[in-house]
Amino acid sequence: MAKVKYVGKVHEPIQSCKKHAHEYWEVVRYTRGRGYVEMGEGRVPFEEGDILVIPPHTVHSDHSENGFQNYHYEFEDNAFPFHTWLRLYDNENHDFLDITEKLYREYQLHRNHYKEVVEHLYNILFYYLVSFADERKNPPYVEFAVNEIVSNFSNPFYDFSATQERIPMNADYFRKLFSASVGMSPTRYLNSMRIDYAKRLLHLRSRSHLTVQEIAWMSGFRDHLYFSRVFRKSTGMSPKEWI
Q: Looking at residues 142-160, what average pLDDT do you find?
A: 90
In whole angstroms, what is the distance from residue 13 CA to residue 64 CA?
A: 9
Contacts of 147 (CB under 8 A, 6+ apart): none
Cβ proximity of 16 and 61 under 8 Å: yes
| Residue range 63-97, pLDDT digits in tens | 999 999 999 999 999 899 888 888 899 988 999 99
**pLDDT the model gives residue 82:** 85
Give the integer Cα–Cα distance in Å for 99 and 121: 7
pTM above 0.75, yes or no: no
CB-CB contact of 186 with 142 (8 Å): no
Which pLDDT tens digit goes with each residue over 175-225? 999 988 888 899 999 998 899 899 889 988 878 889 999 999 999 999 999
Question: SS in 3 state form for 54-111?
Answer: ECCCCCEEEEEEEEEEEEEEEECCCCCCCCCCEEEECCCCCHHHHHHHHHHHHHHHCC
Strands 50-54 and 25-32: what pairing?
A: antiparallel
> Distance between CA 43 and CA 60 in Å, rounded?
9
pLDDT at 85: 86
